[in-house]
Amino acid sequence: MRVITVCVGSACHLKGSHEIIDYFKKAIKDARLDSEVELKGTFCMDKCTEGVNILIDEDPFHASSVDDAHQIFQTEILQKRK
């Protein structure tokens, strides 16, 4: 199972983490990956200046917008499906 973890700490919250979480929820559902991808929230990842912090499994990513999250989902989840 793949795991997407999104920071919901105060800095990431102000930068739109909840919109990014909503995007990931919809993307996972639309791709019918509910049984393959788990979406989690966490507090501070200590990279507050780099955008909304995201971990996919153990790999760190940063999104400044839902478009960034979409690109991350496309390349890291959909293109790397097993």
Domain membership of residue 73 as a residue range = 2-78
| pLDDT digits 0-9 by tens, 20-71 | 999 999 999 999 999 999 999 999 888 888 899 999 999 999 999 999 999 9
Number of structural domains the chain divides into: 1
Q: Residue 30 maps to which CATH number?
A: 3.40.30.10
What's residue 82's pLDDT?
Answer: 63
| Extended beta strands in the chain, E state | 2-7, 37-42, 52-56, 59-63
**Are the C-beta atoms of 68 and 50 separated by less than 8 Å?**
no
Whether residue 79 has pLDDT greater than 80: yes
What's residue 41's pLDDT?
Answer: 95
What's residue 39's pLDDT?
Answer: 98
What's residue 81's pLDDT?
Answer: 79
What's residue 23's pLDDT?
Answer: 98
CA separation for the pair 48, 74 (Å, rounded) = 24
- In this prediction the pTM is 0.92
